[in-house]
Amino acid sequence: MNSRVVLRYAGLAAILVYCLAPFYWMLASAFRRPSDQFSLSPIPNPVSATNFTAVFGTDVGFGRALLNSLVVAGIATVLTLLIGLSAAYAMARLRFRFKNAVAALIIATSMFPGISLVVPLLKLFTDIDWINTYQAMIVPSMSFALPLAVWNLNAFFRQMPGELEEAAMIDGCTRLQAFRRIILPLAAPGVFTTAIITFITAWNEFIIALSMVNDKTMQTATVAISRFTGAYGFDQPFGTQMAAGVIVTVPLVVLVLVFQRRIITGLTAGGVK
Amino acid sequence: MTTPARRGGRAAGEAGRLAALLLSPTFIVLGLVVGYPLVAALRESLYRSGQTVDADGFVVQGDQFVGVDNYTGMFSGPAAARFWNAFGNTTFFTVTTVAAEVVIGVAMALVMHQALRWRGLVRASILVPWAIPTAVSAILWQWIFQADGVANALIGNQILWTTEGWHAKFAVMIADVWKTAPFVGLLVLAGLQVIPRDVYEAARVDGASPARQFWSITLPLVRPVLVVAVLFRVLDSLRMFDLPFVLIGNRKESVETLTMLAWDEASNLRFGPAAAYATILFVYIAVVAFVFVKLLGADVIGEARDRGRQARERRPKPLPQAEVVPA
pLDDT (tens digit per residue) in B220-258: 999 988 998 899 899 999 999 999 999 999 999 999 999
The pLDDT tens digits of the residues spanning B256-277 come to 999 999 999 998 888 899 999 9
The pLDDT assigned to B55 comes to 65
Compute the distance between CA of residue A113 and CA of residue A102 in angstroms, rounded to an integer: 19
Nearest-CA distance A211 → chain B (Å)? 8
Report the sign of the C-alpha dihedral through residues A26, A31, A34, A40, in that order.
negative
Domains (ranges, CATH) in chain A?
A: 61-227 (1.10.3720.10)
* Cβ contact, residue pair B143, A124, below 8 Å: no
Minimal C-alpha gap between A81 and chain B (Å):
10
pLDDT at B317: 44
Q: Do B325 and A266 touch (CB under 8 A)?
A: yes
Q: Which residue of chain A has the CA closest to B149?
A: A38
| Lowest mean pLDDT across A208-217, B3-12, B176-185 | B3-12
CB contact under 8 A, A226 and B141: no
Instruction: Chain A: give the shortest CA distance to residue B201, in Å.
Output: 18
Q: Choose among B33, B140, B146: nearest Cβ to A139.
A: B33
Q: Inter-chain contact A95–B3, Cβ cutoff 8 Å?
A: yes
Asked if residue B320 has pLDDT above 50, the reply is: no
Q: Do A151 and B325 touch (CB under 8 A)?
A: yes
Adjacent-strand bridge partners of B64:
B48
Whether residues B182 and A109 touch (CB distance < 8 A) is answered with: no
Cα of B254 to nearest chain A Cα, Å: 20
Provide the pLDDT for residue A39.
83
With CB atoms and an 8 Å threshold, state whether A120 touches B194. no
- Alpha-carbon gap: A59 to the closest alpha carbon of chain B (Å): 20
Contact between A247 and A240 under an 8 Å Cβ cutoff? The reply is: no
Please tell me the distance in Å from A38's CA to the nearest CA on chain B.
Answer: 7
Question: What percent of chain B stands above pLDDT 70?
Answer: 84
Q: Which long-range contacts (CB under 8 A, 24 or more apart) does A159-167 make?
A: A159/A190, A159/A270, A160/A186, A160/A187, A162/A93, A162/B2, A162/B312, A162/B313, A165/A93, A166/B1, A166/B2
Closest CA to B64 of B80, B52, B77, B72: B52
B194 vs A273: CB contact, 8 Å cut-off? yes
SS (H, E, C) B41-101: HHHHCCEECCCEECCCCCEECCCEECCCHHHHHHHCCCCHHHHHHHHHHHHHHHHHHHHHH
Which residues from chain A sit within 8 angstroms of residue B127, using beta carbons?
A: 256-257, 260, 263-264
Contact B29/A at CB under 8 A: yes
- Residue to substitute from A118, A119, A175, interface B, most B β-carbons within 10 A: A119
Radius of gyration over every alpha carbon of chain A, rounded to an integer in angstroms: 23
What residue of A is the nearest CA neighbor of B237?
A113
What pLDDT is attached to residue B6?
46
Asked if A242's CB is within 8 angstroms of B34's CB, the reply is no
Q: Which residue of A has its CA nearest to B270?
A: A119
Residue B170 confidence (pLDDT)? 95
Q: Report CB contact under 8 Å: B325, A268.
A: yes
Distance in Å from the first CA to the final CA of chain B = 36
The pLDDT of residue A18: 95
Domains in chain B, ordered, with CATH?
Answer: 4-44 (no CATH), 62-304 (1.10.3720.10)
pLDDT in the model for residue A237: 86
Report CA Rg, chain B.
25
Q: What residues contact residue A58 under an 8 Å CB cut-off, 6+ apart?
A: none
The Cα of B56 is separated from the nearest Cα of chain A by a number of Å equal to: 29
- Gap from B285 CA to chain A (nearest CA, Å): 8
**Residue B2 at interface with chain A, using a CB cutoff of 8 Å:** yes
Average pLDDT for B298-318: 55
- Which chain B residues are Cβ-neighbours of A147 within 8 angstroms? 30, 326
Q: Do A94 and B18 count as a contact with CB atoms less than 8 A apart? A: yes
- Beta carbons within 10 angstroms of residue A175's beta carbon: 18
pTM of full prediction above 0.90: no
For residues B222 and B218, give the distance between their C-alpha atoms in angstroms, rounded to a whole number. 6
Residues of B in Cβ contact (< 8 Å) with A111: 232, 235, 285, 289, 326
pLDDT averaged over every residue in chain B: 84
Task: Provide, as residue numbers in chain B, all residues whose Cβ is less than 8 Å from the Cβ of A166.
Answer: 1-2
Please give the pLDDT value at position B11. 65
Percent of chain B residues past pLDDT 90, beyond the cut: 45
Lowest mean pLDDT segment, chosen from A169-183, B88-102, B282-296: A169-183
- B11 vs A: CB within 8 A: no
- Position B323 scores a pLDDT of 47
Chain B CB contacts of A197 under 8 Å are 325, 327
Interface membership of B72 toward A (CB under 8 Å): no
What whole-number distance in Å separates Cα of residue A29 and Cα of residue A21? 12
Is the torsion defined by CA of A31, A35, A37, A43 positive or negative?
A: negative
- Of A40, A225, A272, nearest to B135 by CB-CB distance is A225
Q: Strand pairing partners for B48?
A: B64
Residues of chain A short of pLDDT 70, as ranges, are: 1, 230-235, 269-273
Q: Can you give the pLDDT at residue B303?
A: 58
CB–CB contact B130 A256 (8 Å): yes
Q: Give whole-number Cα distances, B253 to B141, B243, B269, in Å.
A: 19, 14, 20
- In this model, does residue B313 exceed pLDDT 80? no
Q: Which of residues 130-149 of B touch A (CB under 8 A)?
A: 130-144, 146, 148
- CA–CA separation, B145 vs B158, rounded Å? 10
Question: Do B300 and A87 make contact, defined as CB atoms within 8 angstroms?
Answer: no
